[in-house]
Structure formats: structure tokens, C-alpha cells
Amino acid sequence: MNLIINDTIQFVKETLAGAEAGHDWFHIERVFHNAKAINETEQGNWLVVALAALLHDIADAKFHNGDEEIGPKTAADFLTMKGVDPDVIQHVRDIISNMSYKSSLGEVTFRSKEMEIVQDADRLDAIGAIGIARAFTYGGYKNRALYDPAIPPNLQMSKDEYKNTTAPTINHFYEKLLKLKDLMNTGKGKAIAAQRHDFMEAYLEQFLQEAEGKR
């Protein structure tokens, strides 16, 4: 494998040691594999796709007091130190700055085929069985309730509301996770998302029936 990709894998593993389980090295590894599979049909620039997938959560704003610059900057500083082509670095930086769901709630200023691939790869890891595990892990990390019938989901959140919500974890399924299937960019992403979406729907149905004492 490309040397720079290998070095980046090492850097990400070291940097994310001890990270919350939904945003740790294993999340990055799954996104990297998803991105590779999608890129086989989409034929984007593999170096850009690989580096953006590996570095996309290197310093997530929600674990850094909301600072949205620190992630792209940490990635760019690392790649500059490694002597990567400045055009590749700029592209990776643009992808990381614009690919998140939260960014998509604000004004979108950048798109590329490579960004669409990495965004799909990341979104796939937010849904299905892994997506369910990640959501409750994040909710536990933030000490959120599992569910609370008195707090209904807010389906039209602004970017600031999304960033500052303290709602129960079950609301996150309606506020974000169930929307992702229709936001996928690539054919392969859409196909995998459809199956994972159905699994989440079945899970939620069972969850709500148990919560209401019906099963």
C-alpha cells in the first residue's frame, strides 16, 4: 500500500487511542473499507478518498468545544509534514470541512466526487446495527436518556439546534439517522443504506413496543 496511506493509518490510530467508541479507530477503519468498496465503482482519486476517510474525524468539533477548524487543520498539518502534494491536501481539507451532516444543515460550499464517496462511507456507519450501537454509545457518553415520550423529536433542526441538543438518544434516529438513506450520493451507498435502514426501522418498532409495555 501507498506509504503515505500507511503512515496516516499509524497517525490516526495513535491520535484516536482512548476516543469515544463511536468515533474511535474502528469507526475510521470501517469508513475506510466502505470508501474503498464505493470507490471501486465510482473511480474517484484513491489517494484523496483514502486520506479523507482516514482523517475525517481526527479532531471532531463535538469533542473539541465546537471548534470546526481544528479537524481540517490537524489533517492538513499532518499531510504537509509528510510532504503531500498541496492540491491533494487542499482537497482533503475541503472534504473534511464540508462532509459532516451538521455541515449539510448549513450552507454547502464544496462538492466533489471524492467528497460524495467519503460522505457515503461515513453515513453508512451511522445506520444499521453498528449505527444503533454508535448512537447509544454517544448518548451514554453524554449521559442522555434512552427515550422520553415527553420530548418529541425535532425534525427541522437548524445547525445550532443540532449541535446543542440534549434530547434522548431515540430522538436522534428520527432527527438524523432515518434521513440518511435518502441523502446517499452513490449507487452502492444507496443499496447498502436501504438494507441498513430497514433493519433500523424494525429495531425502532420493537423498541417502542417494549417501551410501551406491549411486548
Residue ranges that bind ligand ADP, judged by CB under 6 A:
22, 62, 100-102, 126, 134-135, 138-139, 165, 169, 172
Lay out the site mask for Ni ion across 35-64 (x = CB under 5 A, - = otherwise). Answer: ----------------------x-------
Task: Please provide the size of the chain in residues.
Answer: 215
Task: Give the Cα separation of 36 and 49 in Å (integer).
Answer: 8
- Would you say 103 and 92 are in contact if contact means Cβ atoms under 8 Å apart? no
By C-beta, is 94 or 122 nearer to Ni ion? Answer: 122
x-marked contacts with Ni ion along 88-117 as a string, rule CB under 5 A: ------------------------------
Q: Is 122 in the site for Ni ion (CB under 5 A)?
A: yes
Residue linked to cell 471532531: 60
42 contact, one of Ni ion, ligand ADP, none, CB 5-8 Å limit per kind: none
| C-alpha cell belonging to residue 120 | 457515503
Q: Please report which residue ranges of the chain form alpha helices under DSSP H.
A: 3-15, 25-42, 46-55, 70-81, 86-98, 101-105, 113-124, 128-141, 159-164, 169-175, 187-211
138 binds, among ligand ADP, Ni ion, none (CB under 5 to 8 A by kind): ligand ADP
Q: How far is the CB of 50 from ligand ADP (least distance, A)?
A: 19
